[in-house]
Amino acid sequence: MYKESTNVVVKHLINRLRDVHTSSNEFRLTIEEISRIMVSEALCNFPTVTQTVKTWQGSLDVQMLEVQKLVLVPILRAGEPMLTGILRTLPYAKSGFLAMKRDEETAESKLFYENIPNIEDKTVFLLDPMIATGGSLIDGIDYLKGKGAKRIISLNLVAAPEGIKNVQEAHPDVDIFVAQVDERLDENNYIRPGLGDAGDRAFNTND
């Protein structure tokens, strides 16, 4: 399944990202903020467990998210601010890393580095702001499935319809939560209107 956010705050923040005057610092902080809202929406039906906490009035049984069943995996570079934001909400979640770079001529993604903890029997949140052709996401999902992930949920900020279709065809079992589905891919496989190169915008390397 894929679900596009209808949250007006999410849409507002996405449009802050579109503005070329938005600095790298604000760009990263805004990605962090959107990611925190999106993970809350994506977790609304996630299992909880009873835990006993010591409160100011004594012991209390409460329902807590099973955070130990979650692993956060950003696709670097541009996924890094998503991880930073979500870790402020879920500081006890484990994290893994995939560093991928898309060849701008062929749009083929290449994996340069991975460091994934044990994800067997875990739900993995795969974090990448952009779905253009969907190639990077498909390869990332392939990799995580090879490592035994029980369930994969993809959190994305801006997507082209073509990319979502490609990911759904390759991995129909993966749930995709996307903040904004834009119009189309252009002839250079960039999302229109999109954000430009999200990694360059986030890390001030776009000149």
- Among positions 112-151, residues that touch ligand URA (CB under 6 A) are 130, 132
Near ligand PRP by CB under 6 A: residue from 126, 132, 141, 144: 132
**Spatial CB neighbours of 181, under 8 Å, sequence gap ≥ 6:** 4, 158, 159, 160, 161, 164
Q: Which stretch binds ligand PRP (CB under 6 A): 18-26, 47-55, 65-73, 130-138?
A: 130-138
Q: Is 48 a catalytic residue?
A: no
Confirm or reject binding of residue 126 to ligand PRP (CB under 6 A).
no
Confirm or reject binding of residue 128 to ligand PRP (CB under 6 A).
yes
Residue 90 vs residues 68, 98, 157, 186, 203: alpha-carbon distances, Å:
10, 20, 19, 36, 24
Q: Is 106 a catalytic residue?
A: yes
Beta bridge partners of 126: 73, 154
Quote the least distance from Cβ 192 to ligand URA, whole Å: 8
Confirm or reject binding of residue 190 to ligand URA (CB under 6 A).
yes
Quote the least distance from Cβ 78 to ligand URA, whole Å: 6
- The beta strands (E) that lie in 6-131 are given as 48-55, 58-65, 70-76, 94-95, 97-102, 109-115, 123-127, 130-131
In 3D space, the residue among 111, 127, 113, 69 whose CA is nearest the CA of residue 93 turns out to be 69
- Chain residues that interact with ligand PRP, rule: CB under 6 A: 75, 77-78, 100-102, 107, 109, 128-137, 163, 189, 197-199
